[in-house]
Amino acid sequence: MSDRIGTEITVPRVADALGELFADAGFELHLVGGPVRDAILRRGSDDLDFATSAHPDQTLALLNQHGSTTWTTGRAFGTIGAMFHGHRVEVTTYRADSYDGVTRNPAVVYGDNLTEDLRRRDFTINAMAVSVPGHEFSDPFDGIGDLVRRIIRTPGTPELSFGDDPLRMMRAARFASQLRFDVDGPVKQAMTDMAGDLGRITAERIRDEFVKLMAGADPVIGLRLLVDTGLADQFLPELPALRMAIDEHAQHKDVYEHTLTVVRNAIELEESGPDVLLRIAALLHDIGKPATKGFGPAGRVTFHHHELVGARMARKRLKALRFPKDDIAELTELIALHLRFYGYGRGEWTDSAVRRYVTDAGPYLPRLHKLVRSDCTTRNKRKAARLSADYDALEERIERIAAEEDLAKVRPDLDGNEIMRLLNLPPGRHVGQAWKHLKELRLEHGPLSREEAEAELFAWARANGLTPPDGPTPESGE
């Protein structure tokens, strides 16, 4: 491959400045991996990863000498991080790692040449380098050819690469998703044969790779690959479980294909970049169906309460993958609420029901709107148009009531301090019960006047065996 390609790649000025620093000290430095791949593809990249002939102590000394802020969390693996000229960079010594075949922990062996360092990288499209400041292009494993062919292939045998780090199997699916590339046949076969090796990887690393996949240009490509190779069985078995056999009368949809369609529908509703939580909610929204499948009249297939069962299943799986608590709370609530809308079109919803829908969704309402709309995958155009019109009507109704009542701040008409003062109560369970009672009234009837709220509070106190101070009653109107 011609060295001229290196001169055609846009190399950031900071990379050349860092290269001059290392060259003056007698060391090689190369921009490697993702930044080179993305530059060839004319994609933006914030990563600045380098490989060098300098050992970590030498790299650290050079960077410190020139006033960079450095960190050494990756020092055991030969990596020194720094803020250099206002840019975050990572510089790693040439490596020739060997692994124990049981854990992901490598026995770090420093290499002495660039080619061997590139050989140990995950895929050929990430095994290209450009020297800085000289801009000499190195591509010993034809990564640029694989970019042209739009294929994901390993520099050496896939079995050796995945044996070194099984997470690379998920990374293959992630790059397929991000770049819309195919995976080479031998690579796919190795992923299938070695899927069980993913058990060597920590939940946190699997989660991070899964999130990156879901943020890709087309996560469905990667998701299909995970299911087809058996990798999904290792960390998200609820997904392949959706491939339920359709009964002979085709009484229910193919839930797996429906789910992937919902993911793509959700992507179309995104407003500013990937919304990973919305995409994951779409992916998991029906995982309760296999556990709730039953048969109703005339053999019709049912999935009663699958949204609640699915929410519990999602909570358990997301906890196992070490998702943040706030993300788990939102995703499980979205799954639990995604079916509630379907009673709206029958004209059964009162303003009270609308208030409860908004209050239960809370800050998740914008994503819930998108999830519910994404869930409509029927091919019946008349039915699809009706559902869309129904949800348009619901959103308009929410806006009207919100404008009148400030639904985003639905609270009882009296707060806890006022309840304690009016009933002469100390803090405790009675105060909480009274607060909840007044909130229910607020949801059911809308805002109450101060006099109405106090009257309802005193009535509740008497009904619950409390002796409130003298006050108005609902009947008196005083």
SS3 letters across 387-448 = HHHHHHHHHHHHHHHHHHHCHHHCCCCCCHHHHHHHHCCCCCHHHHHHHHHHHHHHHHHCCC
Query: Are the CB atoms for 214 and 279 separated by under 8 Å?
Result: yes
Distance of CA 294 to the CA centre of its chain: 31
State the Cα–Cα distance between residues 49 and 43, nearest whole angstrom: 16
CATH class for the domain made up of 150-235: mainly alpha
Structural fold of domain 4-142: Beta Polymerase; domain 2 (3.30.460)
Which stretches of 81-166 are DSSP H helices?
114-119, 143-149, 158-164
| Model-wide pTM > 0.75 | yes
Angle between helices 219-229 and 167-179 (to 10 degrees): 150
**In the numeric block, which tokens belong to residue 281?**
């909610």
> What per-residue confidence (pLDDT) applies to 2?
45
Coil, strand, or helix at residue 142? coil
State the Cα–Cα distance between residues 371 and 336, nearest whole angstrom: 12
The total of other beta-carbon atoms located within 10 Å of residue 70's CB is 18
Give the domain ranges of the chain.
4-142, 150-235, 243-408, 416-463
State the Cα–Cα distance between residues 12 and 449, nearest whole angstrom: 64
Q: Cis omega (within 30 of 0) on the bond before 366?
A: no
Question: In the beta sheet, which residues pair with residue 110?
Answer: 95
Coil, strand, or helix at residue 338? coil
**E strands of 79-227, at which residues?**
79-84, 87-93, 98-99, 106-107, 129-131, 137-138, 151-152, 182-183
The total of other beta-carbon atoms located within 10 Å of residue 325's CB is 9
Q: pLDDT for 253-311, tens place per residue?
A: 689 999 999 999 999 999 989 999 999 999 999 999 998 888 878 777 878 889 999 99
Query: Are the CB atoms for 365 and 358 separated by under 8 Å?
Result: yes
**Cα first-last separation, the chain:** 91
Sign of CA dihedral 362, 363, 369, 370: negative
Query: Are the CB atoms for 209 and 174 separated by under 8 Å?
Result: yes
State the Cα–Cα distance between residues 339 and 322, nearest whole angstrom: 27
Residues of the chain with pLDDT under 70: 1-7, 97-108, 245-253, 345-347, 404-413, 467-478
CA dihedral 307, 310, 316, 320 (to 10 degrees): -120
Q: What is the largest CA-CA distance in the chain?
A: 94
